[in-house]
């Protein structure tokens, strides 16, 4: 659809010219689709991808600490939760896949504990972490929830970060898993709390005490 020709000042605008202009603008106006959303801005229009259910599933699963996988160990196939990276202070820990025992049925809450050391100076505990210890895998009762973190204080600058992994169910040797979140973990410290970043985003878990 072509735009109407420009007119010199003083010449009349015919209805046919106006209708041609409206039709041309309509043909050039972006339209949303099932995959794309039109976003208006001061500079015009742009497209933004819609997150479909399939994309959402791919985003949350298939990432560290977010899915059940199988792998070969000592020439045998074992089952567990995908591992990932935990960074805290000057340490970067490559947490291996979390092997699970399919012979033990029930519901389990799974988390990591990471011992951390915060900065302190002149009677003040400072932001940030100096170092950390190897994360440990812990299983607990879902009814009890995740334990509280031990936040560093000036009296004791060591603390314990609790990294929620998710809820595991084993029935008839078949596991199912609901991750708390997904992605590798970065731990930090602000006086009064231990901060967690998962997949580069602030991580806030429902009913998770600081």
C-alpha 160/C-alpha 93 separation (Å) is: 15
For the chain, the domains span 15-49, 53-202
Backbone angles phi, psi at 16, to 5 degrees: -65, -40
CA 189/CA 115 separation, integer angstroms: 12
Q: What number of residues does the chain have?
A: 210
CA 182 to CA 198: how far, in whole Å? Answer: 7
Predicted local confidence at residue 204, as pLDDT: 67
Q: Is 79 helix (H, G, I), strand (E, B) or coil?
A: strand
pLDDT at 62: 67
Q: Tens-digit pLDDT profile for the chain (210 aa)?
A: 566 677 777 777 777 777 776 776 666 666 655 445 555 554 555 545 454 443 443 444 568 999 999 999 999 999 999 999 999 999 999 999 999 999 999 999 999 999 999 999 888 899 999 999 999 999 999 999 999 999 999 999 999 999 999 999 999 999 999 999 889 999 999 999 999 998 877 776 544 443
Per-residue pLDDT at 46:
53
Percent of the chain with pLDDT over 70: 75
Residue located via tokens 């003083």: 10
Which pLDDT value is given to residue 12?
A: 78
Q: What CA dihedral angle connects 166, 89, 209 and 144, to 10 degrees?
A: 40
For residue 151, the model assigns a pLDDT of 94
**pLDDT for res 157:** 95
pLDDT of residue 23: 73
Q: Which of 188, 166, 186, 193 is nearest to 177 (CA)?
A: 166
Q: pLDDT at position 119, please?
A: 94
**pLDDT of 121:** 87
**Per DSSP, which regions of the chain are E strands?**
36-41, 44-49, 68-73, 76-81, 84-88, 91-95, 98-99, 106-121, 124-132, 136-140, 158-171, 174-179, 185-190, 193-198, 201-202
> What pLDDT shows up at residue 165?
95
Give the span between the Cα atoms of 177 and 185, in whole angstroms.
Answer: 19
């Amino acid at each position: 659809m072509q735009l109407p020709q420009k007119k010199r000042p003083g010449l009349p605008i015919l209805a046919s010219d106006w209708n041609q202009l409206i039709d041309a603008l309509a043909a050039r106006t972006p339209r949303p689709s099932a995959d794309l959303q039109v976003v208006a801005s001061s500079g015009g229009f742009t497209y933004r991808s819609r997150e479909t259910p399939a994309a959402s599933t791919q985003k949350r699963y298939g990432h560290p600490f977010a899915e059940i996988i199988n792998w070969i160990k000592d020439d045998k196939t074992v089952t567990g939760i995908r591992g990932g990276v935990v960074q805290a202070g000057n340490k970067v820990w490559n947490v291996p896949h979390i092997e699970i025992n399919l012979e033990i049925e029930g519901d389990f809450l799974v988390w990591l504990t990471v011992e951390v050391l915060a900065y302190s100076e002149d009677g003040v505990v400072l932001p940030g972490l100096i170092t950390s210890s190897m994360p440990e895998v812990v299983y607990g009762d879902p009814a009890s929830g995740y334990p509280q973190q031990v936040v560093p204080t000036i009296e004791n600058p060591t603390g314990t970060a609790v990294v929620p992994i998710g809820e595991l169910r084993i029935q008839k040797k078949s596991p199912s898993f609901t991750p708390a979140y997904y992605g590798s973990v970065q731990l930090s410290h602000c006086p009064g709390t231990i901060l967690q970043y998962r997949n580069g985003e602030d991580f806030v878990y429902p009913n998770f005490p600081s």
